[in-house]
Amino acid sequence: MAQIDGAITDSAIIPASGIFIIRPETIGEEWTIHNIYVPFGGKAQLYRSDDVSGVDLGIFIEPIPVSKTGQFNYHCTNDEFLIIRNNGTDAIKVGFDGVVSGVS
CA 29 – CA 24 distance, rounded (Å): 6
For residues 26-52, give the mean pLDDT. Answer: 89
Selected residue with higher pLDDT from 52 and 2? 52
pLDDT of residue 51: 86
Q: How is 20-62 classified by DSSP, letter by letter?
A: EEE--SSTT-EEEEEEEE--TT--EEEEEES-TTSSS--EEEE
Residue pair 34/73 in contact (Cβ under 8 Å)? The answer is yes
pLDDT digits (tens, 9 = 90+) for 81-93: 999 999 989 999 9
- The Cα 83–Cα 54 span in angstroms is 8
